[in-house]
A and B are shown apart, each in its own frame.
Chain A
Protein backbone atom coordinates (compact mmCIF):
# COMPACT_ATOMS: atom_id res chain seq x y z
CA UNK A 1 0.00 0.00 0.00
CA UNK A 2 1.46 3.33 -1.06
CA UNK A 3 1.13 6.56 0.89
CA UNK A 4 -0.39 9.64 -0.74
CA UNK A 5 3.05 11.19 -0.96
CA UNK A 6 4.48 8.11 -2.68
CA UNK A 7 1.69 8.22 -5.25
CA UNK A 8 2.32 11.93 -5.85
CA UNK A 9 6.01 11.16 -6.43
CA UNK A 10 5.03 8.42 -8.87
CA UNK A 11 2.89 10.92 -10.80
CA UNK A 12 5.72 13.46 -10.80
CA UNK A 13 8.02 10.84 -12.21
CA UNK A 14 5.54 9.77 -14.90
CA UNK A 15 4.95 13.39 -15.93
CA UNK A 16 8.68 14.19 -15.72
CA UNK A 17 8.09 16.95 -13.20
CA UNK A 18 10.48 18.00 -10.42
CA UNK A 19 10.06 16.13 -7.15
CA UNK A 20 7.67 17.88 -4.76
CA UNK A 21 6.27 20.10 -7.53
CA UNK A 22 2.77 18.59 -7.13
CA UNK A 23 0.43 18.72 -4.13
CA UNK A 24 -2.95 17.14 -3.47
CA UNK A 25 -4.54 20.48 -4.42
CA UNK A 26 -2.74 20.96 -7.74
CA UNK A 27 -5.36 21.53 -10.43
CA UNK A 28 -4.74 19.25 -13.42
CA UNK A 29 -5.94 21.84 -15.93
CA UNK A 30 -3.18 24.18 -14.71
CA UNK A 31 -0.37 21.66 -15.30
CA UNK A 32 0.96 22.14 -18.85
CA UNK A 33 2.59 18.69 -18.74
CA UNK A 34 -0.81 17.04 -18.19
CA UNK A 35 -1.36 16.29 -21.89
CA UNK A 36 -2.67 13.26 -23.76
CA UNK A 37 0.57 11.28 -23.27
CA UNK A 38 0.55 12.11 -19.56
CA UNK A 39 -3.00 10.82 -19.37
CA UNK A 40 -1.90 7.66 -21.13
CA UNK A 41 0.90 7.32 -18.57
CA UNK A 42 -1.66 7.51 -15.78
CA UNK A 43 -3.75 4.78 -17.39
CA UNK A 44 -0.63 2.58 -17.65
CA UNK A 45 0.35 3.32 -14.02
CA UNK A 46 -3.15 2.52 -12.86
CA UNK A 47 -3.04 -0.82 -14.62
CA UNK A 48 0.51 -1.71 -13.69
CA UNK A 49 1.13 -0.30 -10.20
CA UNK A 50 -2.39 -0.48 -8.80
CA UNK A 51 -4.00 -3.19 -10.94
CA UNK A 52 -6.98 -0.96 -11.59
CA UNK A 53 -8.73 -0.44 -14.91
CA UNK A 54 -9.11 3.27 -15.42
CA UNK A 55 -11.91 4.21 -17.81
CA UNK A 56 -11.99 7.32 -19.96
CA UNK A 57 -14.99 8.48 -17.99
CA UNK A 58 -13.14 8.25 -14.66
CA UNK A 59 -10.17 9.95 -16.25
CA UNK A 60 -12.29 12.94 -17.27
CA UNK A 61 -13.74 13.19 -13.76
CA UNK A 62 -10.30 13.92 -12.25
CA UNK A 63 -9.93 17.64 -11.47
CA UNK A 64 -6.98 17.69 -9.06
CA UNK A 65 -3.89 15.60 -8.32
CA UNK A 66 -5.69 14.60 -5.11
CA UNK A 67 -8.52 13.02 -7.13
CA UNK A 68 -6.02 10.74 -8.87
CA UNK A 69 -4.15 9.95 -5.66
CA UNK A 70 -7.35 9.06 -3.79
CA UNK A 71 -8.49 6.89 -6.70
CA UNK A 72 -5.20 4.96 -6.63
CA UNK A 73 -5.10 4.75 -2.82
CA UNK A 74 -8.66 3.43 -2.43
CA UNK A 75 -8.53 -0.36 -1.96
Chain B
Protein backbone atom coordinates (compact mmCIF):
# COMPACT_ATOMS: atom_id res chain seq x y z
CA UNK B 1 0.00 0.00 0.00
CA UNK B 2 1.22 3.48 -0.78
CA UNK B 3 2.63 5.41 2.14
CA UNK B 4 0.27 8.31 1.36
CA UNK B 5 -2.88 6.16 1.08
CA UNK B 6 -5.75 7.35 3.30
CA UNK B 7 -3.89 10.53 4.22
CA UNK B 8 -5.89 13.78 4.15
CA UNK B 9 -4.30 16.23 1.73
CA UNK B 10 -5.42 19.77 0.88
CA UNK B 11 -4.51 21.06 -2.59
CA UNK B 12 -5.25 24.72 -3.23
CA UNK B 13 -5.49 25.89 -6.84
CA UNK B 14 -6.37 22.32 -7.84
CA UNK B 15 -8.60 22.96 -10.83
CA UNK B 16 -5.80 23.36 -13.35
CA UNK B 17 -2.08 23.16 -13.98
CA UNK B 18 0.21 21.55 -11.42
CA UNK B 19 -2.57 21.36 -8.79
CA UNK B 20 -4.82 19.35 -11.09
CA UNK B 21 -2.12 16.86 -12.06
CA UNK B 22 -1.15 16.50 -8.42
CA UNK B 23 -4.80 15.76 -7.55
CA UNK B 24 -4.87 12.98 -10.17
CA UNK B 25 -1.61 11.53 -8.87
CA UNK B 26 -2.69 11.59 -5.21
CA UNK B 27 -6.11 10.19 -6.08
CA UNK B 28 -4.34 7.19 -7.66
CA UNK B 29 -2.32 6.78 -4.47
CA UNK B 30 -5.49 6.52 -2.42
CA UNK B 31 -5.32 9.87 -0.64
CA UNK B 32 -8.38 11.65 0.67
CA UNK B 33 -8.32 15.00 -1.07
CA UNK B 34 -9.67 18.37 -0.10
CA UNK B 35 -9.63 20.19 -3.42
CA UNK B 36 -9.76 23.96 -3.57
CA UNK B 37 -10.65 26.27 -6.45
CA UNK B 38 -11.47 29.96 -6.49
CA UNK B 39 -14.06 30.03 -9.26
CA UNK B 40 -17.39 28.28 -9.86
CA UNK B 41 -15.95 26.87 -13.06
CA UNK B 42 -12.93 25.45 -11.22
CA UNK B 43 -15.04 23.74 -8.57
CA UNK B 44 -17.36 22.39 -11.25
CA UNK B 45 -14.41 20.87 -13.12
CA UNK B 46 -13.04 19.30 -9.94
CA UNK B 47 -16.44 17.81 -9.06
CA UNK B 48 -16.79 16.36 -12.55
CA UNK B 49 -13.43 14.60 -12.32
CA UNK B 50 -13.16 13.73 -8.62
CA UNK B 51 -16.77 13.96 -7.38
CA UNK B 52 -17.38 10.25 -8.00
CA UNK B 53 -15.32 9.25 -4.97
CA UNK B 54 -16.59 9.84 -1.45
CA UNK B 55 -12.96 10.14 -0.32
CA UNK B 56 -12.74 13.67 -1.69
CA UNK B 57 -14.17 17.02 -0.57
CA UNK B 58 -14.25 20.43 -2.22
CA UNK B 59 -13.57 23.90 -0.90
CA UNK B 60 -14.37 27.03 -2.86
CA UNK B 61 -12.73 30.18 -1.58
CA UNK B 62 -11.50 33.42 -3.07
CA UNK B 63 -7.81 33.82 -2.20
CA UNK B 64 -7.99 37.54 -2.88
CA UNK B 65 -10.15 37.81 0.28
CA UNK B 66 -8.12 36.19 3.07
CA UNK B 67 -10.48 37.44 5.80
CA UNK B 68 -13.09 35.01 4.55
CA UNK B 69 -10.89 31.89 4.55
CA UNK B 70 -10.88 30.98 8.25
CA UNK B 71 -14.61 30.36 8.65
CA UNK B 72 -15.11 28.19 5.57
CA UNK B 73 -11.85 26.26 5.95
CA UNK B 74 -12.43 25.46 9.63
CA UNK B 75 -15.95 24.30 8.83
CA UNK B 76 -14.69 22.13 5.98
CA UNK B 77 -11.90 20.63 8.09
CA UNK B 78 -14.30 19.65 10.86
CA UNK B 79 -16.05 17.50 8.32
CA UNK B 80 -12.95 16.36 6.37
CA UNK B 81 -10.62 15.65 9.31
CA UNK B 82 -7.08 16.69 10.27
CA UNK B 83 -4.62 17.29 7.44
CA UNK B 84 -1.44 15.33 6.77
CA UNK B 85 -0.52 17.51 3.82
CA UNK B 86 -1.17 20.88 2.20
CA UNK B 87 0.14 21.86 -1.23
CA UNK B 88 -0.43 25.45 -2.30
CA UNK B 89 -0.65 25.72 -6.08
CA UNK B 90 -2.40 29.11 -6.15
CA UNK B 91 -0.44 31.63 -8.12
CA UNK B 92 -1.94 34.76 -9.59
CA UNK B 93 0.38 35.40 -12.56
CA UNK B 94 0.64 39.11 -13.06
CA UNK B 95 2.58 40.23 -16.14
CA UNK B 96 2.77 43.98 -16.52
CA UNK B 97 5.45 46.63 -16.77
CA UNK B 98 6.11 48.95 -13.86
CA UNK B 99 4.24 51.90 -15.38
CA UNK B 100 0.99 49.90 -15.31
CA UNK B 101 1.62 48.24 -11.96
CA UNK B 102 -1.05 50.02 -9.96
CA UNK B 103 -1.53 49.56 -6.22
CA UNK B 104 -4.70 47.51 -6.64
CA UNK B 105 -3.01 44.97 -8.92
CA UNK B 106 0.09 44.70 -6.77
CA UNK B 107 -1.97 44.32 -3.60
CA UNK B 108 -4.22 41.67 -5.10
CA UNK B 109 -1.21 39.64 -6.21
CA UNK B 110 0.44 39.88 -2.82
CA UNK B 111 -2.72 39.05 -0.92
CA UNK B 112 -3.61 36.12 -3.20
CA UNK B 113 -0.14 34.60 -3.43
CA UNK B 114 1.24 35.30 0.04
CA UNK B 115 -1.25 36.49 2.65
CA UNK B 116 -3.85 33.82 1.88
CA UNK B 117 -1.20 31.09 1.92
CA UNK B 118 -0.08 32.25 5.37
CA UNK B 119 -3.68 32.36 6.53
CA UNK B 120 -4.25 28.75 5.40
CA UNK B 121 -1.04 27.65 7.13
CA UNK B 122 -2.12 29.45 10.30
CA UNK B 123 -5.51 27.74 10.33
CA UNK B 124 -4.40 24.20 9.51
CA UNK B 125 -1.51 24.16 11.98
CA UNK B 126 -3.72 24.85 14.99
CA UNK B 127 -3.90 22.07 17.52
CA UNK B 128 -6.33 19.36 16.54
CA UNK B 129 -6.58 20.43 12.91
CA UNK B 130 -3.48 18.57 11.66
CA UNK B 131 -2.32 14.98 11.71
CA UNK B 132 1.09 13.80 12.87
CA UNK B 133 3.83 14.70 10.44
CA UNK B 134 1.91 17.35 8.49
CA UNK B 135 3.93 18.40 5.45
CA UNK B 136 3.28 21.71 3.71
CA UNK B 137 4.52 22.55 0.21
CA UNK B 138 4.31 25.90 -1.60
CA UNK B 139 4.79 26.10 -5.36
CA UNK B 140 7.17 28.92 -6.18
CA UNK B 141 8.78 29.91 -9.44
CA UNK B 142 12.16 30.51 -11.05
CA UNK B 143 10.87 34.08 -11.50
CA UNK B 144 11.66 34.70 -7.84
CA UNK B 145 15.32 33.76 -8.35
CA UNK B 146 16.26 35.21 -11.75
CA UNK B 147 14.99 38.64 -12.75
CA UNK B 148 12.88 39.10 -15.88
CA UNK B 149 11.14 42.27 -17.10
CA UNK B 150 7.39 42.56 -16.57
CA UNK B 151 7.02 40.11 -13.68
CA UNK B 152 8.29 42.14 -10.72
CA UNK B 153 5.24 41.72 -8.49
CA UNK B 154 4.71 38.05 -9.36
CA UNK B 155 8.39 37.32 -8.64
CA UNK B 156 8.21 39.30 -5.39
CA UNK B 157 5.17 37.37 -4.16
CA UNK B 158 6.79 34.02 -4.85
CA UNK B 159 10.02 35.10 -3.15
CA UNK B 160 7.93 36.28 -0.21
CA UNK B 161 6.16 32.94 0.08
CA UNK B 162 9.47 31.08 -0.02
CA UNK B 163 11.06 33.18 2.68
CA UNK B 164 7.94 32.99 4.85
CA UNK B 165 8.01 29.19 4.51
CA UNK B 166 11.68 29.18 5.51
CA UNK B 167 10.89 31.09 8.72
CA UNK B 168 7.80 29.02 9.45
CA UNK B 169 9.82 25.80 9.17
CA UNK B 170 11.63 26.89 12.32
CA UNK B 171 8.40 27.86 14.08
CA UNK B 172 6.46 24.75 13.19
CA UNK B 173 9.04 21.99 13.59
CA UNK B 174 8.30 21.74 17.32
CA UNK B 175 4.83 20.56 16.28
CA UNK B 176 6.39 17.97 13.97
CA UNK B 177 5.28 19.97 10.92
CA UNK B 178 7.55 20.46 7.89
CA UNK B 179 7.17 23.21 5.29
CA UNK B 180 9.08 23.55 2.01
CA UNK B 181 8.84 25.28 -1.37
CA UNK B 182 9.35 24.05 -4.91
CA UNK B 183 10.97 26.37 -7.43
CA UNK B 184 9.16 25.39 -10.59
CA UNK B 185 10.61 26.22 -13.99
CA UNK B 186 8.48 26.90 -17.07
CA UNK B 187 5.70 24.30 -16.86
CA UNK B 188 3.50 23.17 -19.72
CA UNK B 189 0.11 24.22 -18.30
CA UNK B 190 -3.00 25.82 -19.76
CA UNK B 191 -1.81 29.11 -18.24
CA UNK B 192 1.48 28.71 -20.11
CA UNK B 193 -0.32 28.10 -23.41
CA UNK B 194 -2.46 31.19 -22.81
CA UNK B 195 0.66 33.19 -22.02
CA UNK B 196 2.38 32.14 -25.24
CA UNK B 197 -0.80 32.97 -27.18
CA UNK B 198 -0.81 36.49 -25.81
CA UNK B 199 2.90 37.11 -26.27
CA UNK B 200 4.13 39.22 -29.10
CA UNK B 201 6.97 36.82 -29.78
CA UNK B 202 6.37 33.09 -30.06
CA UNK B 203 9.94 32.43 -28.95
CA UNK B 204 10.10 31.62 -25.27
CA UNK B 205 13.43 32.98 -24.03
CA UNK B 206 13.05 31.04 -20.78
CA UNK B 207 13.52 27.83 -22.74
CA UNK B 208 16.93 28.97 -23.99
CA UNK B 209 18.08 28.77 -20.42
CA UNK B 210 15.83 25.89 -19.33
CA UNK B 211 17.92 23.54 -21.45
CA UNK B 212 16.00 20.38 -20.56
CA UNK B 213 12.89 21.86 -22.18
CA UNK B 214 9.37 22.56 -20.97
CA UNK B 215 8.45 20.74 -17.75
CA UNK B 216 5.29 18.64 -17.65
CA UNK B 217 3.09 19.33 -14.56
CA UNK B 218 3.62 15.70 -13.51
CA UNK B 219 7.29 16.46 -12.93
CA UNK B 220 6.45 19.06 -10.31
CA UNK B 221 3.65 16.90 -8.86
CA UNK B 222 6.20 14.10 -8.33
CA UNK B 223 8.33 16.44 -6.21
CA UNK B 224 5.22 17.36 -4.19
CA UNK B 225 4.62 13.67 -3.51
CA UNK B 226 8.21 13.27 -2.32
CA UNK B 227 7.93 16.29 -0.02
CA UNK B 228 4.60 15.05 1.36
CA UNK B 229 6.06 11.63 2.12
CA UNK B 230 8.23 10.59 5.05
CA UNK B 231 11.08 9.95 2.64
CA UNK B 232 11.77 13.68 2.82
CA UNK B 233 11.64 13.76 6.63
CA UNK B 234 14.97 15.61 6.92
CA UNK B 235 14.11 18.29 4.37
CA UNK B 236 12.62 21.39 5.97
CA UNK B 237 12.50 25.08 5.10
CA UNK B 238 14.08 24.35 1.74
CA UNK B 239 13.34 25.62 -1.75
CA UNK B 240 13.89 22.69 -4.09
CA UNK B 241 14.14 23.36 -7.83
CA UNK B 242 12.26 21.42 -10.48
CA UNK B 243 13.55 23.74 -13.13
CA UNK B 244 14.75 21.76 -16.14
CA UNK B 245 18.21 23.18 -15.53
CA UNK B 246 17.14 26.86 -15.58
CA UNK B 247 18.94 27.88 -12.39
CA UNK B 248 22.19 26.06 -13.16
Contacts and interface: CB of A to CB of B under 8 A. Distances in A.
Given A56-B197, A56-B200, A60-B200, A40 B150 contact: yes
Interface residues of B, number: 14
Nearest to B98: A37
A40 B96 contact: yes
Contacts of B202: 56
B51 interface: no
B200 A41 contact: no
B197 A55 contact: yes
B174 interface: no
Most chain A beta-carbon contacts within 10 A, residue among B95, B97, B149, B200? B200
The prevalent SS among residues of A at the interface is: helix
Interface in A5-59: 14, 16, 36-41, 43-45, 48, 53-56, 59
B78 interface: no
Contact of B196 (A43, A45, A56): A56
A39 B150 CA distance: 11
Given A36-B149, A37-B150, A44 B198 contact: no
Contacts of A37: 97, 149-150
A54 B96 contact: no
Contact of A44 (B96, B149, B200): B96
B41 to A, nearest CB: 17
A44 B149 CA distance: 14
Contact of B198 (A36, A38, A41, A43): A43
Contacts of A55: 197-198
B235 to A, nearest CB: 37
A60 B100 CA distance: 21
Contacts of A54: 198
A40 B200 CA distance: 8
Interface in B135-152: 149-150
Interface in B101-159: 149-150
A56 B198 contact: yes
Nearest to B202: A56
A63 B119 CA distance: 48
B99 interface: yes
Contacts of A40: 95-97, 150, 200
B203 to A, nearest CB: 11
Nearest to A15: B99
A45 B201 CA distance: 18
Contacts of A56: 196-202
Nearest to B100: A44
A8 B200 CA distance: 20
Contacts of B95: 40, 44
Given A44-B100, A56-B200, 15 more contacts: A14-B100, A16-B99, A36-B150, A36-B200, A37-B97, A39-B200, A40-B95, A40-B150, A41-B97, A43-B200, A44-B97, A55-B198, A56-B197, A56-B199, A56-B202
